[in-house]
Amino acid sequence: MLQGLDVEDNPLLINPGLNKTMEVIYEDEAIIIVNKPEEFLSVPGKTIKDSVYSRLKELYPDATGPILVHRLDMSTSGILVATKNLEYYHFIQEQFINRTISKRYVALLSGVLENNEGMIELPLRVDLDNRPTQLVCYEYGKSARTKYQVLERREKETLVHFYPITGRTHQLRVHAAHASGLNAPIVGDDLYGTATNRLHLHAEFIKFIHPITHKAVSFKAPAPF
């Protein structure tokens, strides 16, 4: 390396989860429920291996199968469901596929919404020239539906519940920000709005059928904002 030359760290090699704490909020013989911090990977990336998946593998070395049943964006915090073997994984994954799982997110939006509740239906596809950004596309996009409900109006912001009917990449972020959606980006959204200290989007609640008891179970992790 040349002496006296300042070289900036490659952001792709910096682990954003280095000082993050991953909280296990529930565990039994079949499932593990995690509260993922913001700016922390759900699964290993190309260069960064630290993730919810890798930490679960360390904590539960006897667990088999994909373990994580679903994912959250790196910037999104909240509840993730993991399983301890392939049979339990498929049992819960089928509920995701059939959309029988109840999920609720909390988001802080930049702007004051007029309506108290509603449904957003904007089809989405990836922006091929700017991955992983998503675009609203009525011709080639996949169906994406989100129900929302206002919790609190502030001077320049609105706190809402999001109930995603589908689970497209960046669905809640685009549905909030797009002019044909709520036209109110999530606070801290560096892709579809303006970056702040964090993306104010949190997976707060989930309800599904337990793979052993076959009874409904639910879990909640309050939003940290």
User: Residue 5's pLDDT is what?
Assistant: 52
Domain ranges of the chain: 11-220
Tokens of 40: 């922390």
User: Residue 2's pLDDT is what?
Assistant: 47
For the chain, percent of residues with pLDDT exceeding 70: 94
Q: Which residues pair with 27 in a beta bridge?
A: 32
101, 208 Cβ separation under 8 angstroms: yes
Q: What is the pLDDT of residues 27-55, one digit of tens each?
A: 999 999 999 999 999 999 999 999 999 99
Confidence of residue 19 (pLDDT cuts 50, 70, 90): confident
Tokens of 12: 């792709």
**What mean pLDDT is reported for the chain?**
95
Q: Does position 11 have pLDDT exceeding 90, yes or no?
A: no
Architecture of domain 11-220: 2-Layer Sandwich (3.30)
Confidence of residue 3 (pLDDT cuts 50, 70, 90): low
Q: Does position 158 have pLDDT exceeding 60, yes or no?
A: yes
Dihedrals phi, psi of 74, to nearest 5 degrees: -55, -40
User: Residue 1's pLDDT is what?
Assistant: 46
User: Residue 14's pLDDT is what?
Assistant: 81
Q: Catalogue the active-site residues.
A: 73
User: Residue 16's pLDDT is what?
Assistant: 82
User: Residue 7's pLDDT is what?
Assistant: 43
**129-163 burial, b for 16+ CB within 10 Å, e for fewer?**
eeeeebbbeeeebeebbbebebeeeeeebbbbbbb
Q: Tell the burial category of 177 from Cβ atoms under 10 Å away from its Cβ (0-12, 13-18, 19+).
A: buried
Q: What is the pLDDT of residues 78-134, one digit of tens each?
A: 999 999 999 999 999 999 999 999 999 999 999 999 999 999 999 999 999 999 999
